[in-house]
């Protein structure tokens, strides 16, 4: 059951960091996944552009459009009442001009119903867009380390910050994001020693995915943690339920019973009233 009697807010997250209470974020992509993740106690629901891979079947997050994000964000918001819903700005959006970034982020909140947006990267264009959103009253979550939208530029899904130069760059980027006004930062595929330094240096919460034990919180993809139709199994993912196996088993049983004529049986069919049967069949029953 949900652990939150009230709506999770940005203030809630900062209190959790200050109190040392770990933050739990789960991705959600539709109404049922939002309902179940919230019922399980998730503090935040991330409508991630990872939906491109685990829901839409793309090889990366790059093909995901703003319209895709709006469609799925609306569904998640309808299923969430206490968790804070964060929606991803899709590929390239955060690198456009301030006006375009504001329009996209505004649509995710005004049309989609999200309470915040997440932005990948930390170059000058991205920072400028973040500042524009924050100035307009749009809460922004940052995302550094492995940024899936840049997977082709990064040369694949690789751990970031393993050498001194790149570790320092990550720490600098985290500080720049905080200065730009983000309320939280996702650290993806980063050595936990670097994560620890960043988390200690920031006033805003850090949320890790493949970033070790020392973040203020963690996030996992819904389909990964439940082993539900996901073919990817990153080493940092822990499977908490083998939902996919159970789903396949249930469907296979259904198919077998249909083939054998065992489903539907009389219990699962509707029957006519006897008086109607008499009229239709002249007193005969079938």
Q: In b/e form, how buried is each residue of 91-122, taking b as 16+ CB within 10 angstroms? A: bebbbeebeebbebbbbbbeebbbbbbbbbbb
Taking alpha carbons only, the member of 92, 86, 27 closest to residue 66 is 92
Each residue's pLDDT tens digit, 124-169: 999 999 999 999 999 999 999 988 676 655 555 578 889 999 999 9
175 is in an annotated binding site: no
CATH number of 10-241: 3.20.20.60
Each residue's pLDDT tens digit, 185-216: 999 999 999 999 999 999 999 999 999 999 99
pLDDT tier, 271 (very low <50, low <70, confident <90, very high otherwise): confident
163 is in an annotated binding site: no
- Domain definitions of the chain by residue range: 10-241, 253-281
pTM of the model: 0.89
Q: CB atoms < 10 A from the CB of 203, how many?
A: 8
User: To the nearest whole percent, how much of the chain has pLDDT over 90?
Assistant: 73
118 is in an annotated binding site: yes
Please give the positions annotated as active site: 188
pLDDT of 23 over the 80 cut: yes
Average pLDDT over residues 172-196: 97
Give 31's contacts (C-beta < 8 A, 6+ positions apart): 75, 76, 78, 79
88 is in an annotated binding site: yes
17 is in an annotated binding site: no
């Amino acid at each position: 059951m949900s652990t939150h009697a009230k709506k999770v807010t940005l203030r809630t997250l900062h209190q959790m960091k200050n109190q040392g209470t770990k933050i739990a974020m789960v991705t959600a992509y539709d109404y049922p996944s939002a309902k179940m993740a919230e019922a399980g106690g998730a503090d935040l629901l991330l409508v991630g552009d990872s939906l491109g891979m685990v829901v839409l079947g793309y090889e990366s997050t790059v093909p995901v459009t703003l319209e895709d994000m709006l469609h799925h964000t609306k569904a998640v918001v309808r299923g969430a009442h206490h968790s804070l819903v964060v929606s991803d700005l899709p590929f390239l959006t955060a690198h456009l001009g301030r006006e375009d970034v504001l329009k996209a982020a505004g649509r995710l909140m005004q049309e989609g119903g999200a309470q915040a947006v997440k932005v990948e990267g930390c170059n000058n264009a991205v920072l400028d867009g973040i500042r524009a959103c924050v100035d307009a009253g749009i809460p922004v979550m940052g995302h550094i380390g492995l940024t899936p939208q840049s997977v082709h530029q990064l040369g694949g899904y690789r751990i970031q910050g393993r050498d001194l130069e790149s570790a320092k760059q990550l720490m600098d980027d985290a500080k720049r994001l905080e200065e730009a006004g983000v309320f939280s930062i996702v650290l993806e595929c980063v050595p936990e020693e670097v994560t620890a330094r960043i988390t200690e240096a920031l006033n805003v919460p850090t949320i890790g995915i493949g970033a070790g034990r020392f973040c203020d919180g963690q996030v996992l993809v819904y389909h990964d943690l439940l082993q539900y139709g996901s073919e990817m199994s990153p080493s940092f993912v822990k499977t908490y339920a083998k939902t996919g196996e159970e789903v396949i088993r249930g469907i296979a049983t259904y198919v077998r019973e249909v083939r054998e004529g065992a489903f539907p049986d009389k219990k699962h069919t509707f029957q006519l009233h006897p008086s109607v049967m008499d009229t239709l069949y002249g007193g005969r029953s079938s």
